[in-house]
Amino acid sequence: MKNITIYSTPSCVYCNMAKTFFKSNNVAFTEFDVASNLEKRKEMIDMTGQMGVPVMKVGEEVVVGFDEPKLKSLLGIK
């Protein structure tokens, strides 16, 4: 299984949708709250050039926003 990282904020609806998607498909992930973790916020901005969340890293692939079809494709979920 690929390493999954999600950069999110507690109040982000799409972040919560992404986390629910991962949990419902038994996909383990590491979460960083970029509202309070300034180091991870900078890492996310450097990676994407923007401040929008969620940002997910699936292996080496970066997905900006909750794009369920793309996540399913990257994870091999039907």
Read off the pLDDT of residues 21-64 as tens digits, 9 standing for 90 and up. Answer: 999 999 999 999 999 999 999 999 999 999 999 999 999 999 99
CATH of the domain at 48: 3.40.30.10
Residue 1 has pLDDT above 80, yes or no: no
Q: What total of structural domains would you count in the chain?
A: 1
Q: Which domain holds residue 56?
A: 4-75
CA 76, distance to chain mean position in Å, is 16
Q: Of 30, 25, 11, 38, nearest to 68 (Cα)?
A: 25
The predicted model scores a pTM of 0.93
